[in-house]
């Protein structure tokens, strides 16, 4: 009985980990989706083919135009955006 319970609990645990991993988002995706979608469709972001310096210039330009990017979020956003072109 104890062995069956242990197997059941282990199975549930593994299932929860698998489901969590399937729905996990990269660190900057939620920020990009939230901030950038205030003014335009995020599809244009995900289709853009920019180099790191171009993404940095874009984030800087959008921040100056009013995008609500916290200073501590900027690096996370840039790291995420730079993964889009790989």
Q: How confident is the model at residue 59 (pLDDT cuts 50, 70, 90)?
A: very high
Is the pLDDT at 13 greater than 80? The verdict is no
**Using N-to-C axis directions, what is the helix angle for 74-81 and 52-64, rounded to 10°?**
140
Average pLDDT on 66-85 reads 93
**CA–CA separation, 12 and 50 (whole Å):** 42
**CA–CA separation, 74 and 69 (whole Å):** 7
**Using N-to-C axis directions, what is the helix angle for 74-81 and 29-36, rounded to 10°?**
100
Q: Give the tokens for residue 14.
A: 């593994």
Predicted local confidence at residue 12, as pLDDT: 67
Is the pLDDT at 52 greater than 70? The verdict is yes
Predicted local confidence at residue 4, as pLDDT: 65
């Amino acid at each position: 009985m104890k062995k069956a319970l242990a197997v059941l609990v282990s199975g549930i645990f593994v299932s929860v980990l698998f489901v969590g991993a399937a729905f996990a988002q990269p660190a900057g995706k939620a920020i990009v989706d939230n901030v950038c979608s205030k003014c335009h469709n995020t599809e244009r972001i995900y289709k853009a083919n920019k180099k790191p310096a171009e993404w940095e210039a874009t984030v800087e330009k959008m921040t100056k135009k009013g995008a609500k990017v916290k200073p501590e979020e900027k690096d996370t956003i840039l790291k995420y955006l730079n993964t889009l072109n790989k």
